[in-house]
Amino acid sequence: MNNPKYIGRRIIAGFIDYTIIIFLTFLYLKYFGEINEEGAYSVSGLKTLPIIIFWLIYFCGFETILSSTLGNLIVGLKPVNINTEKNITIKESFLRHLVDPIDMCCFGIIGIILIKNSETNQRLGDILAKTKVIKN
Q: What is the pLDDT of residue 108?
A: 85
The predicted model scores a pTM of: 0.88
- Per-residue pLDDT of 79-104, as tens digits, reads 999 999 999 999 999 999 999 988 88
Residue 1 pLDDT level (bands cut at 50, 70, 90): very low
- Per-residue pLDDT of 37-78, as tens digits, reads 999 999 999 999 999 999 999 999 999 999 999 999 999 999
Contacts of 13 (CB under 8 A, 6+ apart): 69, 71, 72, 74, 75, 77
Q: How far is CA 75 from CA 58, 81, 124, in A?
A: 17, 19, 21
**Which has the higher per-residue pLDDT, 126 or 102?**
126
- Per-residue pLDDT of 9-42, as tens digits, reads 999 999 999 999 999 999 999 999 999 999 999 9
- Tell me the C-alpha distance between 32 and 92, whole Å: 31
Q: What is the pLDDT of residue 2?
A: 55
